[in-house]
Structure 1
Amino acid sequence: MDRVAVVTGASSGIGAATARRLARAGFTVYGAARRVDRLEQLAADGVRPLALDVTSDDSMVTAVDQVLAEAGRIDVLVNNAGYGNYGAVEDVPMDEARRQIEVNLFGLARMIQLVVPGMRVRGSGTIVNVTSMGGKITTPFGGWYHASKFAVEGLSDALRVELAPFGVDVVVIEPGGIATEWGGIAMDTAKAASGRGAYAERVHAMAEAMGGAVARFSSKPDVVARAIERAVTATRPRTRYAIGFMAKPTLLARRILPDRAMDWIQTRMLA
């Protein structure tokens, strides 16, 4: 029987690349996104469009029910939907902070709740949570984003042990710098929240850095999609895959260096 995969946040970037790659690998793939019109480009690659808003419980329930009605099962869930809301913790309005956590954490968790029962009963399945190297390290003005990704890392570790007796794997993907819309959105929100006032100089320095060397050297989304394909086709996948520009050296530095050293490096970057 063909394996069925649901990929959230499939309208662009990592999600679109993953949906295409899994479809080429023989999966029946549902590419999910809030804006279905942006999924039309995937139809030629055999990806089925799925309307999904991870901030709406009704939308998530309807989407999962549709897949189960049409395909009969969900073998792989790739939780990729998410974004980066940047700005000084002091400046970001609380409703925007709550939306950041709602999309990046609670939407992901609710999708897991909806697909796990079927996986558990069958005794097989793979849940892939796309976090970031930002789930292990932080950058200034990304406090709310990092809070959401650190939380997904912790949730994934607990979930992995809970589901292991039922044959369900939980994998964390930790991308580094990837050439997607993410950076532009993050810097636009940073400038909107903190582009004036006490943090303005450092926010603009960070935006310049993100648009310079980081953008030039960022990896393509398919680098991450290949790692996800390896994870969902492996008999025993690794618990974590750090992939893309600067992911592995940055996470190694985080393990080795003390907090003050990491603080100093980030301060120098914004000087």
Structure 2
Amino acid sequence: MTDQKTVAITGASNGMGYEATKLFAKKGWKVYAGARRVEKIPQDGENIVAIKLDVTDSTSNHAFIEQIFNDAGHIDVLINNAGYGEYGPAEEIPMDKIRKQFETNFFGAVELTQLVLPIMRAQNYGRIVNISSIGGDVYMPLGAYYHATKAAIQQWSDVLDLEVAPFGIRSICIQPGGTQSSWGSIALDNSKANMSENSAYQPLVSSVAMGLERFMKNSAKTTDLAELFYKAATDIKPSLRYLHSFSDKFMVYVARNHPKVFRKALLLAMRYFEKK
């Protein structure tokens, strides 16, 4: 058992989860970092415990939480970060891939949270940090099921926060925008793989790919977003939502409050990239 603050981070093998693992460890936390590719989890320092984790596998989820509790005796923060973008035309993405998108981005977080909440209630403290996306409010073509998972996790997190707050626990969301990581390239690869032969959506996929590539080049660094993870985990009075930049906040504001304006702007952007 340890008196150190403990954090469980999923999706710790790359991107934001990788950098958050290093940052929490540097700050003196005991970090239990989970990922399928356990060999890619940061190995530097005694504060990091790398654990093989597949959030779509219930047995793996149970083993992850059990190992942490048996080792540390408590869990202060769970960061549900594991996720990816199963992009492609909504008509053509196979149902097994749609289910996998929800299993990874939503149901994995739900099960891990259900497993950790009895521990947090017993210790009268805890924080669930759910990594959503501005994509929980804004949207773009080819991301139908990705956006659906992020909207789902936000609504679920808000309801959960009301239920667990009396026990000294908070459930909050971080909504990153684009990030300089492998997420964009994976989403684009998926969008091409999910098209049928001679797909009617080929022009759309090409124009969206061009726009997404440009957007990602001007996006936030994963180290900056790791700092946001840390702030959300440690703020004395946490917000329900954490966004990184003014542009992220502006896009979410427009999408929520002026949906017709957002749609028109999106259509204009799509036409622009169709001509490129």
Q: How far apart in 1 are the matches of 2:187 and 2:177?
A: 15
Give the letter aligned to residue 149 of structure 1: K
Q: How far apart in 2 are the matches of 1:177 and 1:15?
A: 15
C-alpha root-mean-square deviation of aligned residues, in Å? 1.4
Q: How far apart in 2 are the matches of 1:86 and 1:43?
A: 34
C-alpha deviation, 1:16, in angstroms? 0.7
Matches within 5 A, 1:7-46: 7-39=9-41, 41-44=42-45, 46=47
Structure 1 length-normalised TM: 0.95
Report whether the alignment pairs 1:200 with 2:207: no
Give the letter aligned to residue 261 of structure 2: A
Partner of 1:128: 129
Q: How far apart in 1 are the matches of 2:80 and 2:186?
A: 19
Describe the superposition over 1:56-75 as per-residue Cα deviations: whole angstroms up to 9, x where unpaired: 10011111111111111111
Give the stretch that moved more between structures: 118-127 or 195-204: 195-204
Partner of 2:274: none
C-alpha deviation, 1:227, in angstroms? 1.2
Describe the superposition over 1:152-172 as per-residue Cα deviations: whole angstroms up to 9, x where unpaired: 001000000000000001110
Report whether the alignment pairs 1:232 with 2:233: yes
Partner of 1:172: 173
Contact 1:8 1:33 in 2 (8 A): yes
Q: How far apart in 2 are the matches of 1:2 and 1:270?
A: 50
Q: 1:199 to 1:245 in 2, by over 3 A?
A: farther
Q: How far apart in 2 are the matches of 1:245 and 1:134?
A: 15
Unaligned runs of 5+ in 1: none
Structure 2 length-normalised TM: 0.93
Describe the superposition over 1:76-130 as per-residue Cα deviations: whole angstroms up to 9, x where unpaired: 0000000000111101000100000011110000000110101011110111000
Describe the superposition over 1:13-50 as per-residue Cα deviations: whole angstroms up to 9, x where unpaired: 000111111111111001110111111x3334732101
Q: How far apart in 2 are the matches of 1:148 and 1:250?
A: 19
Partner of 1:269: 269
Report whether the alignment pairs 1:111 with 2:108: no
Give the stretch that moved more between structures: 190-199 or 29-38: 190-199
C-alpha deviation, 1:256, in angstroms? 3.2
Describe the superposition over 1:176-222 as per-residue Cα deviations: whole angstroms up to 9, x where unpaired: 1111111111111111223742111011111111122x122111011
Give the SS at the match of 1:160.
helix
Contact 1:140 1:266 in 2 (8 A): no
Partner of 2:141: 140
C-alpha deviation, 1:247, in angstroms? 1.2
Unaligned runs of 5+ in 2: 272-276
Q: How far apart in 1 are the matches of 2:245 and 2:221?
A: 8
Contact 1:132 1:175 in 2 (8 A): yes
Give the SS at the match of 1:126.
strand
Q: 1:13 to 1:45 in 2, by over 3 A?
A: farther
Contact 1:191 1:203 in 2 (8 A): yes
Q: How far apart in 2 are the matches of 1:194 and 1:137?
A: 23
Q: How far apart in 2 are the matches of 1:3 and 1:245?
A: 31
